[in-house]
Amino acid sequence: MTGGDSGASSGASGGGGVDSGGLPPIADDATAPGQGGGDDGQADVATADGALEAAIDAPSEAIAPPDGSVACKTAGTELCDGFETGMIDPKIWGMQTTAGTSITVDKMQVHSGSYAAHIKLVPGQTNTAQITDAVTFPAKNNTFYTRAFFFISPDLPFDMAGGYHQAYLLATGNNTLGFVEAGLGSAGNKQYLGFSEYFGAGPKTASDPSAQTHGPSFFEFGPDSTTQVVPMKWICMELMQGGDATTTHRRVWIDGKELLEQKSDFSMLPPPMFALMSIGTWQYHTTPILSDIWIDDVRVSSAMIGCNVP
């Protein structure tokens, strides 16, 4: 293969790859979210490549966030929800949960206003609890920004071997080889982790025929950051995911500061056409301690958002 990733460690191609930058291996029978939809074809956005590259490569401080004086409205490629209706709006969000988990709206922890989404988890099991956005897709130029405030309680587990991997912001879709997921999470010593997994067309499982498993072209990579997730406080997380004709792009900001080690422009495999954004947690391993996550002031946009707007 040719090409590469300017900001991530490489893994082994052709099955069961493991990155050397902190992303733990996933068992061969592990499954990915059975959603993502989208076109099996490669993203057809070649005519916009020049403008897309210019916007992505611009320094973060030079990209003007949306005007905070203009109220955000959920329409087209824009989504905004502070959960002030006191419920998860089914016109905006889908939900994906595993046994014992729940997603509600309450007043226990709020970033702004009176309400926030509240995810309840079962410590000691492998949990999934996500709200899912498909209303803003297909994204303009197959590129979008997701910003959400997270309150993580009471703490995250840690080990020094890169375990306890989980996703907080997770984009999914298909490329010409199969299913792809790319996002922002944490692993190891509570370190932020930008990661991508190209599953390829893996075999179906008897228990879940829609599940995604490792195919012949499976490939995954990180890297992790030295910056750690700080529990018991509100954290502003922003993820940019995009794909042009040849390259999948990622940028990450935490509390408004770009994590430069998370910059990734990966061209070893075809980029996906993104079709779904999931916000919450998707745990890849049995995870103790963590029992609650609150999420507030979520925005999805075609432009960089920042932390200083609702």
Q: What is the pLDDT of residues 17-63, one digit of tens each?
A: 333 333 333 333 334 444 443 344 443 444 445 545 555 555 444 34
Report the candidate in 277, 26, 235, 255 with the shortest Cα–Cα distance to residue 130: 277
Calculate the alpha carbon distances from 278 to 30, 152, 261 in Å.
Answer: 19, 17, 23
What pLDDT is recorded for position 57? 54
pLDDT value at residue 56: 55
Can you give the pLDDT at residue 213?
Answer: 77
Average confidence score pLDDT of the chain? 82
Mean pLDDT of 297-309: 96
CB 94 within 8 A of CB 79: no
Domains of the chain: 46-59+73-202+211-301 (2.60.120.200)
pTM of the model: 0.80
pLDDT of residue 201: 79
pLDDT grade for 218, boundaries at 50, 70 and 90: confident
Categorize the per-residue pLDDT at 296 as very low, low, confident or very high, splitting at 50, 70 and 90: very high
pLDDT digits (tens, 9 = 90+) for 82-107: 999 999 999 999 999 999 999 999 99
Residue 50, pLDDT score: 53
- Cα–Cα distances (Å) from 114 to 43, 68, 155, 233, 257, in that order, read 40, 19, 24, 17, 27
Residue 162: its pLDDT value, please?
Answer: 74
Cβ of 54: how many Cβ atoms within 10 Å? 9
